[in-house]
Protein backbone atom coordinates (compact mmCIF):
# COMPACT_ATOMS: atom_id res chain seq x y z
CA UNK A 1 0.00 0.00 0.00
CA UNK A 2 1.43 3.42 -0.93
CA UNK A 3 2.61 5.59 1.96
CA UNK A 4 1.59 8.92 0.46
CA UNK A 5 3.84 11.94 0.29
CA UNK A 6 4.15 12.77 3.98
CA UNK A 7 7.17 13.29 6.24
CA UNK A 8 7.31 9.54 6.98
CA UNK A 9 7.65 8.92 3.25
CA UNK A 10 10.41 11.54 2.94
CA UNK A 11 12.35 9.81 5.71
CA UNK A 12 11.71 6.39 4.12
CA UNK A 13 13.05 7.48 0.72
CA UNK A 14 16.13 9.12 2.19
CA UNK A 15 16.87 6.09 4.40
CA UNK A 16 16.36 3.71 1.46
CA UNK A 17 18.83 5.65 -0.64
CA UNK A 18 21.31 5.91 2.22
CA UNK A 19 21.12 2.15 2.80
CA UNK A 20 22.46 1.81 -0.76
CA UNK A 21 25.29 4.29 -0.27
CA UNK A 22 23.42 7.31 -1.62
CA UNK A 23 23.43 10.05 1.05
CA UNK A 24 21.17 12.94 0.05
CA UNK A 25 20.17 16.38 1.27
CA UNK A 26 16.52 17.44 1.40
CA UNK A 27 15.72 20.28 -0.99
CA UNK A 28 12.74 22.08 -2.50
CA UNK A 29 9.29 22.33 -0.96
CA UNK A 30 9.84 19.84 1.85
CA UNK A 31 13.02 21.61 2.95
CA UNK A 32 11.26 24.98 2.85
CA UNK A 33 8.42 23.62 4.97
CA UNK A 34 10.65 21.96 7.55
CA UNK A 35 12.72 25.14 7.91
CA UNK A 36 9.54 27.15 8.50
CA UNK A 37 9.93 29.18 5.32
CA UNK A 38 6.47 28.21 4.04
CA UNK A 39 3.34 26.89 5.76
CA UNK A 40 2.59 23.14 5.63
CA UNK A 41 1.04 22.04 2.35
CA UNK A 42 0.54 19.01 0.11
CA UNK A 43 3.61 17.92 -1.82
CA UNK A 44 3.66 16.21 -5.21
CA UNK A 45 7.27 15.04 -4.94
CA UNK A 46 10.40 14.87 -2.81
CA UNK A 47 13.36 16.89 -4.07
CA UNK A 48 16.77 15.63 -3.00
CA UNK A 49 20.29 16.80 -3.76
CA UNK A 50 23.01 14.21 -4.19
CA UNK A 51 26.40 15.88 -3.62
CA UNK A 52 28.75 13.66 -5.59
CA UNK A 53 30.90 13.63 -8.70
CA UNK A 54 29.04 10.70 -10.27
CA UNK A 55 25.55 9.23 -10.40
CA UNK A 56 27.02 5.68 -10.52
CA UNK A 57 25.73 4.68 -7.04
CA UNK A 58 22.29 6.12 -7.87
CA UNK A 59 22.21 4.25 -11.18
CA UNK A 60 23.17 0.99 -9.44
CA UNK A 61 20.32 1.58 -6.97
CA UNK A 62 17.85 2.23 -9.80
CA UNK A 63 18.87 -0.99 -11.58
CA UNK A 64 17.92 -3.00 -8.47
CA UNK A 65 14.25 -2.41 -9.29
CA UNK A 66 13.08 -1.41 -5.79
CA UNK A 67 11.71 1.79 -7.29
CA UNK A 68 10.49 2.69 -10.77
CA UNK A 69 12.79 5.07 -12.61
CA UNK A 70 11.16 7.88 -14.58
CA UNK A 71 13.31 7.52 -17.70
CA UNK A 72 12.00 10.75 -19.27
CA UNK A 73 13.62 12.67 -16.40
CA UNK A 74 17.08 11.10 -16.77
CA UNK A 75 19.59 13.84 -17.52
CA UNK A 76 23.31 14.33 -16.82
CA UNK A 77 22.38 16.33 -13.69
CA UNK A 78 19.21 14.56 -12.59
CA UNK A 79 17.51 11.24 -11.86
CA UNK A 80 13.88 10.64 -10.86
CA UNK A 81 11.89 7.66 -9.63
CA UNK A 82 8.58 6.63 -8.15
CA UNK A 83 8.63 5.01 -4.73
CA UNK A 84 5.63 3.49 -2.98
CA UNK A 85 3.29 4.71 -5.73
pLDDT, tens digit, 9 for 90 and up, residues 33-78? 999 999 999 999 999 999 999 999 999 999 999 999 999 999 999 9
The overall pTM is greater than 0.75: yes
The CA distance from 6 to 45, in Å, is 10
Look up residue 64 and give its DSSP letter: T
pLDDT one-digit tens code per residue, 68-82: 999 999 999 999 999
Quick one: pLDDT band at residue 84, thresholds 50, 70, 90? confident
Instruction: With cut-offs at 50, 70 and 90, classify the pLDDT of residue 3.
Output: low
- Dist CA 56 CA 67 (whole Å): 16
Amino acid sequence: MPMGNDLRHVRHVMALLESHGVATWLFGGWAEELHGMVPPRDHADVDLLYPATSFAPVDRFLRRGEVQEIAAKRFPHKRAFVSEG
